[in-house]
Amino acid sequence: MKIGLARETFPGEHRAALVPASIPPLVKAGLEIIVETGVGKAAGYLDEAYREKGATVADRAAVFAADVVVQVRALGANLEHGITDLGLMRRGQTIIGLCDPLGEPAAAQQMASQGVSLFSLELMPRITRAQSMDVLSSMATVAGYKAVLIAAEALPKMFPMMMTAAGTISPAKVFVVGAGVAGLQAIASARRLGAIVEAYDVRPVVKEQVESLGAKFVELPIDTAGAQDKGGYAKQLDEETLRKQRELMLKTVAANDVVITTALIPGRPAPTLITADMVRAMAPGSVIVDLAAERGGNCELTHPGRTIVDGGVTILGPTNLPATVPFHASQMFAKNVTTFLLHLVKNGKLEINVGDEITRDTLITHDGEVVHTRIRDLLHQPS
C-alpha cells in the first residue's frame, strides 16, 4: 500500500504531516511512502532526509496516485487552494488531515462525491487510547507556548522581576482565560519567563492543574455546572451566564498586563469573553493575545490575522501559530499521524473498522457518502 505525503498549499502553512523520522515505522509496517518534492523544506526537513529514511520523492500527481494521502490541511481547512486537489482524488482513495468538517461540511460533501474516504483529525475522540493521535492537543501545546512569546515581544515591559543597580523591576502580570492544553502551556511558559500568572476556566476541575503550574486560579461566583462535556471540552454557556462572567472578570482583566484567551467550543464561533469596555479598562501598553481568533475571537475587538491597537492596548489575533514553529510542530503532528496510520493498517492494508471508536469518530466520508452523523446533520441529511 502506498502512502502519499502532500506539500501544503495553504498560505503561511509551513508544517508537514510527516517528517523523515516517521518513515521507518511506516515502512516496517509494509507501507511504501511517496513524498512531494519540497514537502518539508519550510519546516527544515529536506527531500534528501526523507530519501535517506526510505521514502520516494515525486511530484504532486504521483503523491495523489497513492492509496492514502496525508496532509496537514485537506480541502475543508484549505478552501481556496485545496479545491484544485479534488480532480486528483479518486474513488476508493483515503485522505487524512485537518478538514474542519464542523465549520465547512460542504467540503466534506465534495470529497464524498469524489468517492474518497476522509478521516478528520479534528474529531479524534478524547479517550486515553487516542491521546497519542490527538493533533489538536499537540498543536495547542505549540500555540500556548508561542502565544506567550509574542505577548512578551509586544509588551513594553519585561516579564521577570529583576533586582538591578538601577532599581527593582516589577514582574509582569499575565491572565490566561481557558485552562485547556493551550492555556496550561501558556501558564507554564509565562511562569518560566518570570511573570505572575492568574488563570480562569469555567471548569472548576482544572483548578488543581492551574495551581500545580504556579498560577492563581481565579474563581468567579457563577454556576458552571455542566460546563464540560464527556470528552473534557468546555461547553457553550448560556448568554446570561456569559454576561455575568464578563462582568465579574472585568476587574481581573484590568489589573493584568497581558491577557491570553484560549476558549473554543468545537463547531461553534468562539464565545466573546473580553468586551470592548474590558479592553478600555486595561492600562495603555497592555497586550491581548486571542488564540480563538480563527473562530472569530474571544475578544470583541479581535481582527483575525491582524494586530490592532485600541486605546493603547495591543490586540493580536494570530490564526495559525503552530505553523510559525514548524520544525517541532511538524514533529508532533507527524507522531500523531503515524500512530493513527498504524492504528488503521493491519497486515499492510488499510482496514476501516467502524466498530472501533477512534475509526468511527474520525471517519467523515466513505463509499461516496458522508457517513459521520454529526456532519450529516449539518448538511441536513437524514441519519
Choose the catalytic residue: 233, 310, 356, 374: 233
Among candidates 118, 89, 142, which has minimal Cα distance to 375? 118
Cβ pair 245, 219 in contact under 8 A: no
Q: Do both 119 and 149 map to the same domain?
A: no
Choose the catalytic residue: 67, 113, 131, 191: 131
User: Is residue 145 annotated as a catalytic residue, yes or no?
Assistant: no
Residue 223 predicted with pLDDT over 70: no
Residue 344: inside a domain, yes or no? yes
Separation CA 315–CA 309 (nearest Å)? 6
- Write out the residue range of the structural domain in which residue 362 sits: 2-133+326-378
Q: What is the dihedral of CA 299, 199, 125, 343, to 10 degrees?
A: 110
Residue 176: strand pairing partners: 199, 260
Q: Give me the CATH number covering residue 299.
A: 3.40.50.720
- pLDDT single digits (tens) 268-283: 899 999 999 999 999 9
Separation CA 332–CA 142 (nearest Å)? 9
Domain boundary among 286, 302, 319: 319
Residue 228 predicted with pLDDT over 60: no
What is the model's pLDDT at position 242?
75
Residue 219 predicted with pLDDT over 60: yes
Residues 6 or more apart whose Cβ sits within 8 Å of residue 77:
10, 97, 98, 99, 100, 104
Residues of the chain with pLDDT > 70, as a percent, come to: 96
Domain boundary among 299, 319, 339: 319
Domain count of the chain? 2
Whole-structure pTM value = 0.93
- pLDDT single digits (tens) 36-76: 999 999 999 999 999 999 999 999 999 999 999 999 999 99
Choose the catalytic residue: 85, 134, 290, 361: 134
DSSP assignment string, 265-283: -TTSPPP--B-HHHHHTSP
Residue 174: strand pairing partners: 197, 258
Q: Do both 160 and 272 map to the same domain?
A: yes
Q: Do both 296 and 164 map to the same domain?
A: yes
Confidence of residue 237 (pLDDT cuts 50, 70, 90): low
- pLDDT single digits (tens) 106-141: 999 999 999 999 999 999 999 999 999 999 999 999
User: Is residue 134 annotated as a catalytic residue, yes or no?
Assistant: yes
Residue 36: strand pairing partners: 58
- The mean per-residue pLDDT over the stretch 245-254 comes to 88
User: Is residue 126 annotated as a catalytic residue, yes or no?
Assistant: yes
Choose the catalytic residue: 51, 126, 360, 374: 126
Q: Do both 27 and 162 map to the same domain?
A: no
Residue 15: inside a domain, yes or no? yes
Residues 6 or more apart whose Cβ sits within 8 Å of residue 238:
none
Confidence of residue 241 (pLDDT cuts 50, 70, 90): confident
- The mean per-residue pLDDT over the stretch 313-330 comes to 98
Residue 185: inside a domain, yes or no? yes
What is the model's pLDDT at position 133?
98
Among candidates 336, 337, 355, which has minimal Cα distance to 69? 337
Residue 167 predicted with pLDDT over 90: yes
Choose the catalytic residue: 109, 117, 137, 209: 137
Residue 305: inside a domain, yes or no? yes
Helix 326-344 and helix 135-154: axis angle, to 10°?
Answer: 170
Set of cell numbers at residue 3: 502512502
- Residue matched to cell numbers 461540511: 105
Q: Do both 109 and 13 map to the same domain?
A: yes
Residue 383: inside a domain, yes or no? no
Q: Do both 262 and 113 map to the same domain?
A: no
- Residue matched to cell numbers 502553512: 13
What is the model's pLDDT at position 224?
61
- pLDDT single digits (tens) 256-310: 999 999 998 888 899 999 999 999 999 999 999 999 999 999 999 999 999 999 9
Separation CA 189–CA 253 (nearest Å)? 19
User: Is 174 strand, coil or helix?
Assistant: strand
User: Is residue 131 annotated as a catalytic residue, yes or no?
Assistant: yes
Q: Do both 29 and 154 map to the same domain?
A: no
Q: Do both 126 and 175 map to the same domain?
A: no
E strands in 161-242: 162-164, 167-169, 173-177, 196-200, 216-217
Confidence of residue 230 (pLDDT cuts 50, 70, 90): low
Q: Do both 82 and 170 map to the same domain?
A: no
Q: Do both 191 and 143 map to the same domain?
A: yes
Q: Do both 141 and 110 map to the same domain?
A: no
Q: What is each CA distance from 93 to 66, 70, 88, 240, 367, in whole angstroms?
A: 8, 11, 10, 47, 10
Sort strands 287-290 and 313-316 into parallel, antiparallel or unpaired. parallel
